[in-house]
Amino acid sequence: GAVVSQHPSWVICKSGTSVKIECRSLDFQATTMFWYRQFPKQSLMLMATSNEGSKATYEQGVEKDKFLINHASLTLSTLTVTSAHPEDSSFYICSAAGTGVTDTQYFGPGTRLTVL
Amino acid sequence: EDQVTQSPEALRLQEGESSSLNCSYTVSGLRGLFWYRQDPGKGPEFLFTLYSAGEEKEKERLKATLTKKESFLHITAPKPEDSATYLCAVNQAGTALIFGKGTTLSVSS
């Protein structure tokens, strides 16, 4: 149980284009979903927290107009990187929690984004 | 200031050589402490959640323990497939997870 999927697993795009990453909880309903980014040999950095049906809460320093998050259902959240630039290249990982912020988070396999 | 500190940063073991990883935390109002395993290029895999001092949990060769200030992840007779980065995370009331920087374990045969 507690499986989280992400799609795509990797994506390469040109600078200036937008990229959408999907995160799905496959066998449970996720009240809260989280988006992280991870640079090589570093730990996870939380970008935003989203609750189903409401606006995401972004961490300090994360541009909400650049990283659009939609949590339209209890099993799906999307992250759209708008007007991507090479500095946005990173490993993006989502996680899902069943009942709230303090519940155990289950992570997706991650999406490697490369912006040329 | 670091709220979650993991040590050592890296650990090399021979197959069968048992050891422990440490996670110390300074947060108040701990709601839970979590251990994850992360392989290169993959998302973290959930291992354990500990909620109160004195609690212990086991899974195969891994055993996690919790005190009021730290948690240990004991690895008994490790195998090469146990090689990974082990992440510790805590949460306080009303906050998201706070991660440590991880311990990278390498087990050679």
Question: CA-to-CA distance for A54 and A47, rounded, in angstroms?
Answer: 16
Per-residue pLDDT, averaged over A6-30, amounts to: 95
Closest partner residue to A105 among B41, B93, B97, by Cβ?
Answer: B97
Nearest chain B Cα to A58, which residue? B96
Q: Which chain A residues are within 8 Å of B99, Cβ to Cβ? A: 43-44
What is the distance of C-alpha B93 from the center of its chain? 21
> Is residue A37 within 8 Å of A112, Cβ to Cβ?
no
Closest-CA distance of chain A to residue B99, Å? 7
> With an 8 Å Cβ cutoff, are B32 and A4 in contact?
no
Question: CA-to-CA distance for A95 and A36, rounded, in angstroms?
Answer: 8
Closest partner residue to B96 among A34, A108, A109, by Cβ?
Answer: A34
Distances (CA, A) of B60 to A41, B48, B64, B71, B74: 27, 12, 11, 18, 11
What is the distance of C-alpha B1 from the center of its chain? 20
Q: Which chain A residues are within 8 Å of B44, Cβ to Cβ? A: 44, 93, 95, 107
Res A18: pLDDT: 97
With a pLDDT cut of 90, the percent of chain A lying above it is 73
Question: Which pLDDT band holds residue B92 (cuts at 50, 70, 90)?
Answer: confident
Question: CA-to-CA distance for A80 and A18, rounded, in angstroms?
Answer: 7
Mutation for B interface: A34, A43, A101, A107, most B CBs within 10 A = A43
pLDDT tens digits, one per residue of A58-98: 999 999 999 999 988 999 999 999 999 999 999 999 999 87
What is the distance of C-alpha A65 from the center of its chain? 14
Whether the predicted pLDDT of B95 surpasses 70: no
Distances (CA, A) of A17 to A10, A75, A88: 15, 26, 12
Whether the predicted pLDDT of A26 surpasses 80: yes
Whether the predicted pLDDT of B2 surpasses 80: no
Nearest CA to B62 out of B94, B39, B36 is that of B36
> With an 8 Å Cβ cutoff, are A43 and B87 in contact?
yes
User: Left if phi > 0, otherwise alpha if psi is -120 to 50, otherwise beta: which for A27?
Assistant: alpha
pLDDT tens digits, one per residue of B8-43: 999 999 999 999 999 999 987 788 999 999 999 999
pLDDT tens digits, one per residue of B50-65: 999 999 999 999 999 9
Question: CA-to-CA distance for A25 and A3, rounded, in angstroms?
Answer: 6
Res A78: pLDDT: 96
